[in-house]
């Protein structure tokens, strides 16, 4: 099992909490991370908590998203040394796009700029 498969098998709640911790370490908030998830994937906080209560894995979290913003495919850049726009596997690309957006948040970019990919914000 490759690293990506191991990540996809991990509990979604754990991975989301790691994304929150990454952002908070740089002075950002849990609410900002949840806003990224809401805009990117369509999850409201209550639906996320329900998914976490079901002990869903990260694969289920990514595949069960209520509504990916169509602009997610426009997100580009590098995360963990990998250009997200070059990832062919759609599931892995979605995983990396979320990581990229939270990385941008942790780097101090404004939430407005991070969410500029969103068709709903245009």
pLDDT digits 0-9 by tens, 26-50: 999 999 999 999 999 999 999 999 9
Cβ atoms of 83 and 3 closer than 8 Å: no
Cβ atoms of 49 and 38 closer than 8 Å: no
Average pLDDT of the segment spanning 41-70: 96
Q: What is the mean pLDDT of the chain?
A: 94
Cβ atoms of 30 and 5 closer than 8 Å: no
**pLDDT at residue 55 above 80?**
yes
**pLDDT at residue 10 above 90?**
yes
Spatial separation of the C-alpha atoms in residues 116 and 122, rounded to whole Å: 8
At the topology level, CATH places domain 3-114 in Helicase, Ruva Protein; domain 3 (1.10.8)
**pTM more than 0.85:** yes
């Amino acid at each position: 099992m490759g690293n990506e498969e191991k990540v996809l098998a991990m509990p979604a709640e754990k991975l989301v909490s790691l994304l929150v911790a990454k952002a908070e370490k740089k002075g950002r908030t849990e609410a900002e991370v949840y806003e990224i998830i809401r805009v990117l994937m369509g999850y409201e906080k209550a639906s996320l908590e329900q998914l976490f209560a079901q002990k869903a894995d990260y694969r289920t979290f990514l595949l069960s998203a209520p509504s990916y913003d169509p602009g997610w495919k426009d997100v580009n850049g590098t995360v963990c040394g990998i250009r997200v726009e070059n990832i062919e596997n759609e599931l892995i690309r979605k995983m990396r796009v979320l990581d990229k957006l939270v990385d941008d948040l942790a780097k101090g970019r404004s939430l407005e700029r991070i969410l500029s990919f969103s068709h709903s914000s245009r």
